[in-house]
Amino acid sequence: MATATHHLSEHDPTSVPSGAGRRFALVVSEWNRDITDALRQGARDTLLRYGVAEADIEEVWVPGSFELASGAQYLLERGGLHGVICLGSVVRGETPHFDFVCHGTTQGIMDVGLKYGRPVIFGVLTDDTMQQALDRSGGKHGNKGVDCAVAVLKMAAIREQAIG
C-alpha cells in the first residue's frame, strides 16, 4: 500500500515553490461529499499556505469523479489558470462499475492535462472501503488534497521554467 510508508500531508516545505501570482482551480466531485470536501479543504489550505491569494483559487463542483476531466477542460478552455486539481472519491462496490469509473477518470484527467499543457493533478481516492477514504482525506494517512496542492505548485513552476 503506497500510503503505508508515506503520509499524504507530509512534505518538505522548502521544496515547495511559492504560488504567489498564480491562479488555480479545484474541481471537486459531489459524490462522497464528506470525503471530497475534506480533500478540497486540504488543497485550499495548502495553496493559501504557499502564497496563492484567496481570489486566485476557483472552485467548481461536478456531479461525480467521472465528470472531473470535463470540469477541468471547461476551465482550461477559458484560460488564465496555472493548474487544476481534480478531487474525487470512488469506493469499490459489488459490481465492475468501480473499475470503469476509475479507469475513465484517470485517463480523462491525464488527457486534459496533456491537451492543454497545464498541470491537471489527479486527486481521486480509489479505495476499497469508506474507512480507507476517510484515512486518506484527513485521517491517519493524511490528506491527499495537501499532496495534490504541493504537486500543482511544483508542476506549475516546472512548466514555467521549461517554457516560460
Residues 91-117 pLDDT 10s: 998 888 899 999 999 999 999 999 999
Distance of alpha carbon 92 from alpha carbon 96, whole angstroms: 9
Distance of alpha carbon 21 from alpha carbon 70, whole angstroms: 25
The one catalytic residue among 6, 7, 82, 97? 97
Amino acid at 46: T
Cell of 45: 489550505
Q: How many CB atoms lie within 10 A of CB 48?
A: 15
Which residue segments constitute the domains of the chain, with CATH numbers given? 33-163 (3.40.50.960)
What integer is the mean pLDDT of 134-140?
96
Closest CA to 90 of 80, 81, 99: 99
- Do 90 and 125 touch, CB atoms closer than 8 A? yes
- Do 66 and 105 touch, CB atoms closer than 8 A? yes
Report which of residues 28 and 5 the model is more confident about.
28
- Rg (C-alpha) for the chain, rounded Å, is 15
Cell of 122: 489527479
Quote the pTM value: 0.95
- Do 156 and 80 touch, CB atoms closer than 8 A? no
Distances (CA, A) of 124 to 15, 32, 51, 146: 23, 11, 24, 13
- Do 46 and 39 touch, CB atoms closer than 8 A? no
97 is catalytic: yes
β-pair type (83-91, 120-127): parallel
CA angle 134, 135, 140 (to 5 degrees): 140
Where residue 2 falls among pLDDT bands split at 50, 70, 90? low
What integer is the mean pLDDT of 138-146?
96
